Structure 1
Amino acid sequence: MAELNRRSLLRTAGRIGTAAGLTALAGRGAWLAAEPFAGREAAVLDRELRIGYLPITDASALLVAHEQGLLQAAGLPSATPVLFRSWDALAQALSVGAVDAVHLLMPLALQLRLGKKVPLKVVSWGHTNGSTLTVANTITNTEQLSGTRLAMPAWWSIHSVLSQRLLREAGLRPVIGEPARPGTVELVLMAPAEMVAALASGSISGFAVADPFSAVAENQKIGHVHRFLGDLWADHACCAITVRQDLVDQHPQAVQALTDAVVAAQSWLGDHRGEAGALLTGAGFLPQPEPAVTKVFTRTQQPYAEVIKHADWAPERLGFSAWPHASYTTALVEQLRTTTIDGDTSFLPAQAADAHTDLVDDRFVTTSLQRVGATIAARQELIAP
């Protein structure tokens, strides 16, 4: 048995204290965390949990929780996760109840919950960092994006928020619904799976999206990382584990089992970065080439020394954190106020902190972290060009 180390558990909880008692148990290749799941023989839901996901590394915690038997061990058997190609399709599936749990863009979760009154709750973070602004090989500075088109996966995304900050810092104006001209950059929506091909064809100058698409573009030598978005906002949460409100209200034990399994999956990922890519591609969850997916989990700073501005933030590192910090949600609402969005933003609350209270239910992940001996620490939001 391999005991998880202190650093792994710190990464898992997201700036938390140490934890003890988690162990790795071999069996059909599955990794089981013994302590959180002791006495979980009885199922906590009368059917299988239905998971929806986009084929990106942001989904890793949910996918590993299923594939490594962690949900099953927690008393929550899960059906094979269902792949969706766009955020709109995934959000619609959650909205109508076709799936129970997803990893969802934090800004999109805000819009759905507060703006469209979709009955959902964020119950934990699934990861931190893991996104890039990737550009054509001919582009070496942000100013060269003037008069070109950049692809975004959704208007309500951290990708749009941070890309627009970067553009404005460079004296460029992001525009939506009008052709780019000198001094402006046209932002267009595009499904993540289409972005690499669009960059190769020259129809866009770059894209901001979750990995592994930057790694695919690099390996195919058609683009390069211009900035890691974690270099613009330290340890930001692109996506969060989000469930339907009725699951919280009617089956709280199932939500508890879900967050327990997510915390355990994050621990596995933190300790098995060299294996994660092969697991996710080998199981058929991620369709991208295994070398590209593995690259995301194992990146080091050295190849990106020229583009990283805040090396101490480790922006190239896909992190795994469960605790949904209120400071992040509050800062995100403030950032959305200054972001160009094709849609109504009037629902954003006057008091940004109110958004966290409405959107996030942290009771379950609090218990999950307590079960592994974790103590939660405050954090400071670091946002810089």
Structure 2
Amino acid sequence: MCEQCDSGNLIDHSAGAAKGGLTRRGYLDLMAAGGLAMMGALKPGLSFAQPKDDVVRIGYLPITDATALLVAHGMGFFKDEGLVAEKPTLIRSWSSLVESFAAQKFNLVHFLKPIPVWMRYNNKFPVKIMAWAHTNGSAIVVGKDAGIDSFADLRGKQVAVPYWYSMHNIVLQMAMRVNGVKAVIKEQGQPLAADECNLQVMAPSDMPPALAAKKIDAYIVAEPFNALGELRAGAKTLRFTGDMWKNHPCCVVCMHEADTKERAEWTQKVVNAVVKAQVYASANKKEVAKLLSRDGMEYLPVPQDVVERAMTLYDTGTYAAPPAIKHPDWKNGRIDFNGFPYASATKLIVKAMNETVVSGDTTFLGGLDPDFVAKDLVDDRFIRKALAKFPDWRKDPTVPTGSDPFTREEVIAL
């Protein structure tokens, strides 16, 4: 579906090999293993030279998680802040985006929230979460003939996740445990026990074709690939993740820690532009869908009808069988754009990562203090100032009401 795949010119791999002792072949082998295993090849504390200019360089996957970064570019919000921003670079896989950010190819990216946890505490890489990219915006969809009408029906099935360290994998396994389903990671063709569901990592753009070809029975991922599955691959939505964990984070906006310390004024301008884009996107989802689509500014390689569905279609009538929306009283959207990084959610994710089946060594998680991570990984100084500049952010329906919009309690109802 996505024709813009990773390419050799994204990074000077020969230079990277000289600094980190890893060849391009080594990177490819590690990426082929899936998950964040490739990050283990980055030496703790490894750093690369910072670019000499103040150009904003964005890397993104073709999903609606990147909306704020893409709208900030497309609507000229970086320019409004006096910044020069290159056209965002589409990357196909999370591994490649992580690699490119680590090599200083990009200074502004969106990552699945658990990724910077791994980077900072397993690999000592100085990444900072500056904001949430959005809230909600994901779902689990199933093949129309797969016989899946509940999470209990995932027994004996093959399910794809976008990354081992992802909100998707965490929430999926929460629901599976409650329903007596055991998550396992096995080679294709290996037999499954009666209570097992086999998980595999798959790039988002590969999921709808794999579902249509019955190579997998279900997948959980960000939009617009759930809407694409519904419209083009005969998929049905089992549950929206925003209906399981109220207004959860998915992707987060990340920058290099050095920029936050050495270029604070520049960093503030970048965050201002991102927040302005979130405020705009929250109030103009249909217009944003066109802007992002291949019928607009072509940031996403999918047509407008797919992106618009992914941005706006969220009602109990359409999603009655199976009931993908059980909590209409939560009044959230299919995707929303409150960017404030609530500490309560970070703490929950750090705890949940210890209970989630993933590929690779997870011993680093055992020593992580959720309270420490919430303060050390997240830098909310800049977004607090940006939100004061754009007070309309409080009109987003997911912002807590009351005197303190920066504190909330996490609500999970599987």
TM-score by length of 1: 0.85
The RMSD of aligned alpha carbons is 1.5
The answer for the alignment partner of 1:359 in structure 2 is 377
Residue 294 (structure 2) pairs with residue 287 (structure 1): no
**Cα offset for 1:246?**
2.0
The answer (yes or no) to whether the contact 1:104–1:241 under 8 Å persists in 2 is yes
Cα shift at 1:229 = 0.8
Amino acid at match of 2:413: A
Aligned residues of 2:211 and 2:233 also touching (Cα < 8 A): no
Identity over aligned residues, as a percent? 37
Q: What's the secondary structure of 1:296's corresponding residue?
A: helix
Could you tell me which residue of structure 1 aligns to residue 74 of structure 2?
67
Residue aligning to 2:345: 328
Q: CA deviation at 1:221?
A: 4.8
- Contact 2:56–2:86 (Cα < 8 Å) also in 1: yes
> Is structure 2 residue 411 aligned with structure 1 residue 382?
yes
In the alignment, what sits opposite 1:55?
62
C-alpha deviation, 1:248, in angstroms: 1.4
Which is bigger in relative contact order (C-alpha 8 A, separation at least 6)?
1
What code does the residue aligned with 1:184 have? E
Structure 2 letter corresponding to 1:295: R
Aligned residue among 315, 326, 332 for 1:309 = 326
Given candidates 299, 314, 327, the residue that maps to 1:300 is 314
Q: Letter of the aligned partner of 1:293 in structure 2?
A: V
Residue of structure 2 equivalent to 1:23? none
> d(CA) in 2 for partners of 1:79 and 1:372?
24
- Give runs of aligned pairs for residues 187-198 of structure 1, distance below 5 A: 187-198=199-210
Instruction: Give 2:363's aligned amino acid.
Output: S
Query: Equivalent residue for 2:397?
Result: none
Partner of 1:91: 98
- Partner amino acid for 1:260? N
Which is further off, 297-306 or 166-175?
297-306
- Provide the secondary structure at the position in 1 that maps to 2:405: coil
Alignment-derived partner of residue 167 in structure 2: 158
Aligned equivalent of 2:388: 370
- Among 60, 81, 89, the residue aligned to 1:82: 89
Which is further off, 312-321 or 147-156? 312-321
Q: What does the per-residue CA deviation read over 1:53-82, in whole Å, with 9 as the maximum and x for residues that have no partner?
A: 000001000000011000111122100000
* Distance in 2 between residues matched to 1:338 and 1:258, nearest whole Å: 35
Contact 2:139 2:241 in 1 (8 A): yes
CA contact (8 A) 1:148 1:181 kept: no
CA distance in 1, matches of 2:314, 2:92: 29
Which deviations, in whole Å up to 9, do the C-alpha atoms of 1:257-278 show, x marking residues without a partner? 1111111101111121111111
What's the CA shift string for 1:58-114, capped at 9, x where partnerless? 100000001100011112210000000011111111111111010111011111111
Match of 1:265 among 256, 277, 283: 277
Structure 2's unaligned 5+ residue stretches are 1-51, 395-403
Residue by residue over 1:230-268, the C-alpha shift from the partner in whole angstroms, topping out at 9 and shown as x without a partner, is 111111110110011222122111210111111110111
Deviations 1:9-34 (A, max 9, x none): xxxxxxxxxxxxxxxxxxxxxxxxxx
